A and B are shown apart, each in its own frame.
Chain A
Amino acid sequence: MMQVLILFIQILVLFAIVMLHVAYATYFERKIIGHMQVRMGPMRVGYHGLLQPIADGIKSFFKEDIIPEQADKAAFRAAPIICLVAMMTSLAVLPFAKGWVLADINIGLLFIFAMSSLASYGVILAGWASNSKFTFLGGMRSMAQVISYEIAMGLSLVGVMMLSGTLNLTEIVEAQGTSFTGMYIFPQILAFFVFCIAMLAETNRVPFDLPEAETELVSGYCTEYSGMRYAIFFMAEYIGMMVMAAIGTICFLGGWNGPFVIPFFPPFWLILKIYVFMFFFIWIRATLPRYRYDQLMELGWKLLIPLALANIVLTGIIKAFTS
């Protein structure tokens, strides 16, 4: 009983922290992009706009919730929830430091893949259920994107699995050792490259933001969504970014290990590395144009998947000869 209660409190704390991060991730995105684009970003609400996320939250919470008359109501309501739940669930298996994990299961990596694929069902459902032409196209694009990039991403992490011999995220970090040189980014540089691109596609970020391409499909799958439902899609996207950043950190950048140990707060390095990844996401968004739908497919199938496969073969050969 006590254990359940403790677990419940842990979940609550994690949820609160992640939500706060999501809110301020939007703030930092707007600030960073703002400064990259020679403007200020949010400035009005609070000191340098620090309360902007709160204001946005309140605004979207009190906005009218519109469901189009011809929408498939049940699916329309379910879609954002599916997105958010899938993304939140994958947080459960992320180890923030040694022992700082809600569910230390031995198929952690697979679990996260499963969950992030599930999240794209939300997007597809949203596109379908809105019964609007633009959202439908957005949903279709998302489906195509998921199929091609899920594979590339999965394959890119096979090398990591081969080196560490485990799917448990904690053990993957431990397998890299505490030193700088043990990080898998060095032996798995090719996989890291593939992972970074697939990660952007997986989270629907620029240059792969085709499902929501604002200038083409007018926000694609979430065109018909308003108020809190729209905000939930937004949250799911940002949690998705964080989860992907965490995976990248854990699998390639040595997880919570840093140059020295921070007492009382071991997740420090992991969080710092996640921030670096988040900055990378935002930086990319400020720099690159958008791919075209068919070019995205081409990149996925003709470049990323062969590269990831080659990486697996290479890793296998090296591992066979060295062990």
Chain B
Amino acid sequence: MTRPVTKTLEIPVADGERNPYSLKMGPQHPATHGVLRVDLELDGETILKCTPHVGYLHRGFDKIAENRTYAQTLILTDRLDYIGAMANNVGYCVAVEQLLGFSVPERAKYIRTMVCEMSRICSHLLWLATHALDIGAMTVFLYCFREREILLDLFEELCGARLTFSYPRIGGVRQDVTRKFIDELQRVIHLFPGRIEEYETLIDTNRIWLKRTVGIGKLSGDKALALGLTGPCLRGSGVDYDIRKHRPYDAYDQMDFEVPLGSDGDIYARYRCRMEELRQSLRILQQCVDMLPPGPVLDKDAPDLVMPLHKNTKGGEADSTSYGTGIIKFMEEQGIYPAGDIYVSTEAPKGELGFYFISDGSARAYRMHIRSPSFIHISALPTIAQGELIADLIANIGSLDVVIGECDR
């Protein structure tokens, strides 16, 4: 069976009007950072229209969370932004604690701040790696991975996992840090500033890098705010908004750090912002190590992750023989936790990661909504990319730092 051969290449039509050249970029494309599809309409290589399509990685986390206890939902948050999973865990825990009224021991707060900043460094390193690779600088990619490896080893020492940690718990963290972890972390804090300088010597003074980034993908502060950008993408445009500073959670109110701001709002400004953030994160890490208070790391009332029963439940204590029915009974029981709704956001590496919960008083959320920065950043792509070239689109996707796992949820 042969299909009729049709030539599909579009050519300029006779009367001077030009057909746009449509190009479907992705979902299998090395530079879309996962399974993002971007439909482009091109004139030559200039982008006339850019339409991102998301949903290729949709797993329905918001819905799944309605059928799991709060403690069980925690493991889903690992799979949001899998590059900086620890920050998602912490963000989720902070939100649930505020909703259900758990307290967190002082030591756990510091440990959480520590792992948050570590995951910020992890995320920014991977961002730099892939962003540089998108623009064509291959070596930076592997240098960043070398450093990221050290951090992942540290995470492994801390909780045994390298990617999906589930280390923070509602009401604290799973287990205490070890002496070895602290020593290794101290070594990292001393090692990393030199390595960051190394990346900067490779790309910061490189004329080609500057040509590819300065003045490209410009966004004014107002526009960035209107598009809902957060995190380094917003701060690159000069808007001073960092939840760690403005609505501090965990131990951030004890930390002394600066929020780096850009002014131009182009790719280079966002790049500079993230590079500075790496340094600030190291600063916070050092303070966490120095100020780490003694004490327990988990609230004694904290719900158990494995056996999802809250210790203070009135009825419904599931016996081990009827675990399944026990759990269902338990979940339907009202009045365990306070009812109400809450929106709590934290500063994830990519931007503002918010959790919105409605609680009906049972052990599971009536409704959970995740405000993921990647989703909102992708929606800014058409505005940024219009009128620029394909090569700039690639640089822009990289610069917005999107992770499709978080965007599609």
Chain B CB within 8 A of A64 CB: no
Q: A131-B8, A292-B389 are in contact. Are A286 and B208 (CB under 8 A)?
A: no
Contact status A37-B138, CB under 8 Å = yes
Q: Of the candidates B136, B143, B202, B389, which one forms a contact with A294 in the assembled complex, judged by CB atoms under 8 Å apart? A: B389
Q: Residue on B with the closest CB to A71?
A: B5
Contact, CB under 8 Å: A288 / B143: no
Write the chain B residue with the least CB distance to A285: B138
User: Which one of B141, B142, B203, B390 contacts A216 once the chains associate, using CB atoms below 8 Å?
Assistant: B390
Report yes or no: B206 in contact with A288, Cβ–Cβ below 8 A: yes
Q: How far is the CA of A289 from the CA of B268 in the complex (A)?
A: 14
Interface residues of A in 261-295 (CB under 8 A from B): 285-295
Give the residue name and chain of the B residue nearest to A214 (CB): B30
A37: which B residues are within 8 A, CB to CB? Answer: 138-139, 141-143
Across the A-B interface, give the 4 residue pairs with the lowest CB-CB distance, nearest first.
A290-B136, A37-B142, A289-B137, A289-B136
Checking A33, A133, A289 against B21 with a beta-carbon cut-off of 8 angstroms, the contacting residue is A133
Which residue in chain A gives the minimum CB-CB distance to B32? A215
Q: Is the CB of B138 within 8 A of A33?
A: yes
Given A131-B7, A133-B21, A290-B208, A207 contacting B136 (CB threshold 8 A): yes
Bound together, the chains give a CA A39 to CA B144 distance in angstroms of: 13
A294 nearest CB neighbor, chain B only: B389
Q: Name A36's closest neighbour in chain B (CB-CB).
A: B139
Q: Which of A27-70 contact B (CB under 8 A)?
A: 33, 36-39, 69-70
A223 to B344, CA, bound (A): 46
Are A293 and B7 touching (Cβ within 8 A)? Answer: no
Contact (A289, B389) CB under 8 Å given A131-B9, A133-B21: no
Which residue on chain A has the smallest CB distance to residue B138?
A286
List, in ascending order, chain A residues with CB within 8 A of B133's CB: 215
Mind listing 7 A-B residue pairs with CB under 8 Å?
Answer: A33-B138, A137-B45, A207-B208, A217-B390, A288-B206, A293-B389, A295-B211
Q: In the complex, what's the smallest C-beta–C-beta distance from A10 to chain B, in angstroms?
A: 39
Q: Which residues of B contact A216 (CB under 8 A)?
A: 31, 390-391, 394
The CA-CA distance from A218 to B31 in the complex, in Å, is 9
Q: Which residues of B contact A70 (CB under 8 A)?
A: 5-8
Count of A-B contacts with CB under 8 A? Answer: 90
Residues of A within 8 A of B30 (CB): 214-215, 218
Q: Are B45 and A293 in contact (CB under 8 A)?
A: yes
Chain B nearest CB from A224 CB (Å) reads: 13
How many chain B residues touch A (Cβ–Cβ < 8 Å)?
38
Task: With both chains docked as a complex, state the minimum distance between the C-beta of B53 and any C-beta of chain A, in angstroms.
Answer: 17
Q: Any chain A CB within 8 A of the CB of B29?
A: yes
Note all chain A residues with C-beta closer than 8 A to B283. none
> Given known contacts A131-B9, A217-B390, what 4 new A-B pairs fall within 8 Å (CB)?
A37-B138, A37-B141, A70-B8, A215-B136
- Decide: A69 and B138 in contact? CB cutoff 8 A: no
- Give chain B residues whose Cβ lies under 8 Å from the Cβ of A237: none
Which one of B22, B29, B212, B390 contacts A289 once the chains associate, using CB atoms below 8 Å?
A: B212
A184 at the interface (CB under 8 A from B): no
A286 touching B139 in the complex, CB below 8 Å, given contacts A133-B21, A207-B208: yes
Q: Does B225 contact A (CB under 8 A)?
A: no
Which chain A residues border B24 with CB–CB below 8 Å?
Answer: 133
B78: interface (CB < 8 Å)? no
List the B side residues contacting A289 at CB < 8 Å: 132, 135-137, 203, 206, 208-209, 212
